[in-house]
Amino acid sequence: MKSKTLQKNLIEAAIIAALTGLSNIVLAQSTGGCDTYAPNTTSGSSQVVTCTSGVTPAATAGVISTQNTTTVGNNVTVNVVNGTSLVIDGATIGIGSGARVSNHGNLNTGSMQNGYGISSGSNGRSQAGNNIFTNESDGTIYTRGGNAAGMYISATNASSAANSLTNAGAIQTDGAGAAGMRLVSGSTSSSVVNSIVNSGTIITNGSAAHGVQLSGVGAVTIVNSGTITANGSNAFGIYSAGNITALTNSQGGSSPLTFSGVLPTNYNATIASPTVYGKLDASNGAVTGVMNFSIASASTVSATTYSTVLSGIKVNNLGNSYGTISIGGTQYQWALVHRINGSADQTDLVLSTVVQPSLVALEEVLATQSYLIAPIESDTQVALSSVGAALQGLFATQSAGVINGMSYDCSLFGANNVCVSAGGRFTNVSAYPYNNSSALIVGAYRLSNNLRFGGYLDQNLSQSTPGGIAQLNNGSPMVGVFGVWSQNVDGTGTEAKLSAGYANKGATITRPVVGVSEAGSGSTSLTSQGILGLLKYGLGIGDKTILSPYAGMRYLVGGMGGYSEGQSNTVSSPLSYNAINNYTTTVLAGVSGVHKLSEKTSLLASAGVEKDTNANVGNLATTGNGYFNIAMNNNYRSTRPTASLGAFHDLGINERIGISAIYRQEAYQALTSTTVMATYTVGL
């Protein structure tokens, strides 16, 4: 009698040691057994199995159905009664689909790798789902092997039924990759919604050992009114690579619910008092997706501030940040806020019984309390799209300037073989009011009747951009050089030209305010540089007209430097921007012509086409407090027409005035640019 009592005491001590995390216990023989379950026959389906204490002989194996078969071990009901302990170096309950498991006892898988306390669908069993697992308030589950799980359901079929996992007791896992609850749902039906409920305690110890781990496309709802604690590197209370449609959480205080992976579509914070309420912490995780915030209807709230309800949620992860809710017959206005000049990673919740009539009024009230309403994904996305459109126009304007600059020339020489041309340029980019006006000077030196070299300066005098998004600095002029070889001085025969241009403009970019987005602002530079090689052949037609077919190649590179916005009293979540790098290799072909109206006056015209043979258009991408990626190559047009028309009049033998207009279709969103230039040229 004493020996039986001693044996029972040793077993209970071993179980207690396991559940408190000691890793080197000696597994004792189980107390209790499971009646008449025959897992290796076809009768191993649709059975009711009861595991009870005091059975002789005691269990030496768990309730395990045949592996690698989908027809045996389905629709089995397992009841583990209070006082029963299955301490087995291996899985304790592993069966097929349609399982109903209720555990009031103690399940211990020992140090078994991939050991599961309660599982369905593992090791080749049926993936049909439709399982209900419950670890009751007096139940305990303990695993000590790597990649193990206290509860595990694998239901990967697209037609799999819904599953339910509930923990009201205690689950503990010790081992790398071991999860408290693990669910894989492949269901594609919108009517199938899996359920996970935790009102008990889940503790995991180990690297990447998550309290609740999800994957698959099947919808899942989670309610956590207990505690989920994940101890270990890269381990989280909830890790989701799946589809959480709703997460309701009351865990908070100094141990908030930690999270990583795909955020739930809807998150509901349960509030019990001004000091007891749910907190979600994603600051150490890597989260994706957009989450809508709400207050659980079962909450007890006050008109106060609830600190740090969210941590580590970026601008692009938040779907809403203010609204109204009725609780206990009282209407409240709520707002997610950041403290002015505080951390953007900390989001507080402000509740008020006074509902403001407008967003502007709400923002004004919050500002008096040193709060800024948290910006959200949709509004910021729209604002950044406007920034992207503005940058497209600026890039088009600047590249048009460089491209037109590479057509500058000075071919009227005097006795000193010097040519100087001065004038002005005005460029407009269509669809947006992008305008800039410049003063320019071009100079050239004639080495011989066939060869000349020159350069130019083109200084912006004024510019305008839409919506106040960009302010450009006019401090740096556009510069360029060129060299021309002509077979004949009258323009007939072969002519070859090589030219290069460079432009750099400082810019201040400010996001427009859309809804609750913020007017973040920062300084950067816009650059554009290129090189052009052009070959043409002049054909004399009569004594007044020369037509010149031409062909060439141009390489253009440019973009925007990376920059960061500044935090201020009106900006709580400044964004950082990656550099934008653009380049194009373009072939050119067309025809130009000169026709003399008189001895002193001539008309000029050209028409051609450009074709990009290689192009890269960088995106507007942000980092830091929000991750956005705005495509900049929408409606990109790789084949574009160009044309020009002009006239010049000789005031004297070495003196000329001219005017010309250049039309180009730009690559960005099929924008067009029109440039008008007027020049005065003198040969010295």
Q: What is the pLDDT of residues 559-594, one digit of tens each?
A: 999 999 999 999 999 999 999 999 999 999 999 999
**How high is the pLDDT of residue 41?**
57
Q: What is the pLDDT of residues 177-186, one digit of tens each?
A: 999 999 999 9
Is-contact 642 665, C-beta < 8 A? Answer: yes
pLDDT band, very low/low/confident/very high, at 436 (cuts 50, 70, 90): confident
Q: Name residue, tokens 């609750």.
A: 516
Q: What is the pLDDT of residues 21-75, one digit of tens each?
A: 333 333 444 667 787 665 555 666 788 888 888 776 666 778 988 899 888 889 9
Classify strands 193-198 and 170-174 as parallel, antiparallel or unpaired: unpaired
- Which residues, 6+ apart, have CB-to-CB distance to 626 below 8 Å? 314, 315, 316, 375, 377, 380, 573, 575
The count of other CB atoms within 10 Å of the CB of residue 61 is 15
Is-contact 39 72, C-beta < 8 A? Answer: yes
> Rounded to the nearest 5 degrees, what angle is found at the Cα of 129, between the Cα atoms of 128 and 133?
150
Is-contact 527 503, C-beta < 8 A? Answer: yes
* Residue 79: pLDDT over 50: yes
Residue 577 zone, left/alpha/beta (φ > 0; ψ -120 to 50; rest): beta
Q: State the average pLDDT for the chain.
A: 91
Longest dimension (CA), the chain: 132
* Residue 14: pLDDT over 50: no
Is-contact 282 259, C-beta < 8 A? Answer: yes
| Least confident segment among 83-92, 160-169, 287-296 | 83-92
Supply φ then ψ for residue 354, to 5 degrees.
-100, 115
Three-class DSSP category at 298: coil
- Which residues, 6+ apart, have CB-to-CB distance to 191 below 8 Å? none
**How high is the pLDDT of residue 11?**
37
CA-closest candidate to residue 53, choices 21, 94, 85, 12: 85
Distances (CA, A) of 119 to 47, 96, 125, 370: 16, 8, 10, 51
Three-class DSSP category at 169: coil
**How high is the pLDDT of residue 139?**
98
Distances (CA, A) of 437 to 462, 467, 503: 5, 19, 14
* Residue 454: pLDDT over 70: yes
Q: Name residue, tokens 């269901």.
A: 187
Model pTM greater than 0.75?
Answer: yes
* Residue 666: pLDDT over 50: yes
Round the CA-based radius of gyration of the chain to a whole number and report it.
37
Q: What is the pLDDT of residues 614-658, one digit of tens each?
A: 999 999 999 999 999 999 887 788 999 999 999 999 999 999 999
| Least confident segment among 313-327, 427-441, 666-680 | 427-441
Is-contact 160 186, C-beta < 8 A? Answer: yes
**How high is the pLDDT of residue 521?**
96
- The two three-digit tokens of residue 566, written as one number: 């500044």
Angstrom distance (rounded) from CA 658 to CA 677: 8
**How high is the pLDDT of residue 25?**
37
Amino acid letter at 676? V
Q: What is the pLDDT of residues 206-263, one digit of tens each?
A: 999 999 999 999 999 999 999 999 999 999 999 999 999 999 999 999 999 999 999 9
**How high is the pLDDT of residue 26?**
39
**How high is the pLDDT of residue 6?**
36
Distances (CA, A) of 489 to 85, 451, 547: 105, 10, 15
Percent of the chain exceeding pLDDT 90 equals: 79
| Least confident segment among 38-42, 154-158, 345-349, 419-423 | 38-42
The count of other CB atoms within 10 Å of the CB of residue 395 is 26
Calculated CA dihedral for residues 374, 379, 381, 385, nearest 10 degrees: -130
Q: What is the pLDDT of residues 105-149, one digit of tens each?
A: 999 998 989 999 999 999 999 999 999 999 999 999 999 999 999
Mapping DSSP onto H, E and C, the string for 434-449 reads: EEEEEEEEEEEEECCC
**How high is the pLDDT of residue 13?**
39
- Which residues, 6+ apart, have CB-to-CB distance to 594 below 8 Å? 491, 545, 546, 602, 603, 604
Strand order in the sheet with 85-87: 85-87, 106-108, 140-143, 170-174, 201-205, 227-231
**How high is the pLDDT of residue 39?**
57
* Residue 494: pLDDT over 60: yes
Q: Please, what are the domains in the chain?
A: 379-515+526-683 (2.40.128.130)
Q: Name residue, tokens 């011989």.
A: 448
Calculated CA dihedral for residues 58, 63, 67, 69, nearest 10 degrees: 140
* Residue 85: pLDDT over 70: yes
Q: What is the pLDDT of residues 502-527, one digit of tens each?
A: 999 999 999 999 999 999 999 999 99
Q: Provide the 8-state DSSP code for 68.
A: S
CA-closest candidate to residue 249, choices 212, 284, 205: 212
pLDDT band, very low/low/confident/very high, at 603 (cuts 50, 70, 90): very high
Average pLDDT over residues 421-445: 87
Average pLDDT over residues 306-322: 98
Distances (CA, A) of 636 to 65, 309, 401, 662, 669: 60, 44, 19, 21, 5
